[in-house]
Amino acid sequence: MRTLLLTGNHPRHHYIAKSLAEADLLSAVIIEKREAFVPEPPTDLDPHLSQLYVKHFREREAAEHSFFGNPEKNLTEIPTIAVTKDELNSSRVWEFVELHQPQLVISYGVHFLKEETLARFPQARWNIHGGLSPWYKGCITMFWPSYMLEPQMTGVTVHQLSMELDGGPIIHQCSGPLVRGDGIHQLACRSIQRIAKEMPTLIAKHFAGDLKPPQRQRSPGKLWTSRDWRPEHLHLIYDIYQNRIVDHYLDGKFRHFEPQTVRQL
């Protein structure tokens, strides 16, 4: 079972790689060097919003280290290359894929893979998307459910990798468990922990031929772009709800409905 993973270099990305490696399902890794984990705030923000910006990203960093630790040290025996965004669709990646002859390719947390790169992959190629498609496709999709006051819609989608961004047929989904006291970053981390726990079984079922057919996304849903997000959105999370949106939902202060997820397990 030769599985190649293309992923980022933040703790959540390494955690997925670690979970596959510990299940002896990972044969090679391509790591894209992503943007700074705690970016500097834009210089045009007022002092309070600048503080919220720093708080938001520092708390994300603290949450990921708390939930995921330092898992990259567990990948030392797996053949690995590190690439930049500009190298992601390059001959360097294509040659690495050719060298390792994967039977399954999984992407998680990398930039857009072009058609000429997908052509080098086997037919079995999946994407792990941090968001519940089709409602939350695109960027920053573990932030938006809480902003839209529906934290129960925070989750992960595993879908077939295609040229349509987060739009391929859905193989499997999970929603994040709602735990009283959790903030936005803890909820996101619990979603990643859940899919990391389920991925080894999902891959084993794939190689055994036991997966149910993927489900085509019947709705275009919503594609969130990086331009949709602005620092001003942090006011709602922190100033209005004090990062306790999960608690408000559990207390019945927001409309209750459950996501209709695709499940294989």
> Which domains occur in the chain, in start order?
3-250 (3.40.50.12230)
Residue 1: is its pLDDT beyond 80? no
Question: In this predicted structure, what is the pLDDT of residue 256?
Answer: 93
pLDDT tens profile 13-35: 999 999 999 999 999 999 999 88
Higher pLDDT among residues 172 and 69, named by residue: 172
Residue 70: is its pLDDT beyond 80? no
Residues 105-114, mean pLDDT to the nearest whole number: 95
DSSP letters, 174-239, are: EEPP--TT--HHHHHHHHHHHHHHHHHHHHHHHHTT-PPPPBP--S---EE-GGG--GGGHIIIII
* Reported confidence tier of residue 36, pLDDT bands at 50, 70, 90: confident
Q: Which of these, 182, 155, 153, lies nearest to 247 by C-alpha position?
A: 182
**Whole-number Å distance between alpha carbons of 163 and 160:** 10
* Reported confidence tier of residue 166, pLDDT bands at 50, 70, 90: confident
Average pLDDT taken over every residue of the chain? 94
Residue 71: is its pLDDT beyond 60? no
Q: What one-letter code names the amino acid at 262?
A: V
